[in-house]
Amino acid sequence: MPLSYTPGQFGGERVWFLCPNMQCGKRVTKLYIADSLGCRHCLRLSHQSKNESHMDRMARRADKLRVRLGWQEGILNPEGGRPKGMHQRTYEHLLKRYRELRNIAILAIADEFTWLRHLKDQRP
């Protein structure tokens, strides 16, 4: 596997893979296996966030905050308390942001159900 090296910002060096695709040859940190070995661009892979709906993205962001707050994942689970050692101001800020994201996700879920109900009503 061909490798490339570049000087590190704080000394040392950084190691890169070179994409084995003949038309590409880009320096990348990760290679992927599909029908062949290549970089994300050559294999036409996209990031998860590009493939998820607005509802899924808001729920995922809310879950990240739940984990940071030490709570069980899942926007339908009850809120926990302030984690030990977390400043009250930080907790209130994260709680406010979590509730905003949760509400957006729940409204998006409600919109999807409204759309599905509309489709059901249209059936003969």
Task: Determine which helix (DSSP H) or strand (DSSP E) holds 118, and give its type and residue range.
Answer: helix 88-122
Instruction: Mark the ranges of the chain whose per-residue pLDDT is less than 70.
Output: 115-124
The whole-number pLDDT of residue 62 equals: 95
pLDDT on residue 78: 95
pLDDT computed for residue 50 by the predictor: 76
Classify residue 58 by burial, with Cβ atoms within 10 Å: 0-12, 13-18, 19+: buried
How much of the chain, in percent, has pLDDT values that exceed 90? Answer: 46
Tens of pLDDT, residues 43-67:
888 777 777 888 888 999 999 999 9
